């Protein structure tokens, strides 16, 4: 299993969409083998997302 963190950088003033986890799940394929997706909107200087 791999733990992957992604930091998201949008244009100035951009906000993270509510329910972004649902959006990620909707495009995940069975072959991606995601088990868990979490979003940390205030996870540092930019929002971050983690998947396992």
Residue 26 DSSP code: H
The pTM for the full model equals 0.55
Q: Which long-range contacts (CB under 8 A, 24 or more apart) does 20-23 make?
A: 20/49, 21/49
- Selected residue with higher pLDDT from 50 and 26: 26
Q: Which domain holds residue 9?
A: 4-51
- Distance, in Å, from the CA atom of 20 to the CA atom of 22, rounded to the nearest integer, reads 5
Is the predicted pLDDT of residue 6 greater than 80, yes or no? no
Number of domains forming the structure of the chain: 1
Mean predicted lDDT score pLDDT of the chain = 76
Average pLDDT rounded to a whole number, residues 11-30: 83
């Amino acid at each position: 299993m791999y733990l992957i963190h992604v930091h998201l950088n949008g244009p100035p003033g951009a906000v993270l969409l509510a329910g972004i986890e649902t959006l990620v799940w909707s495009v995940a394929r069975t072959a991606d083998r995601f088990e868990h997706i979490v979003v940390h909107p205030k996870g540092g200087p930019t929002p971050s997302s983690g998947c396992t």
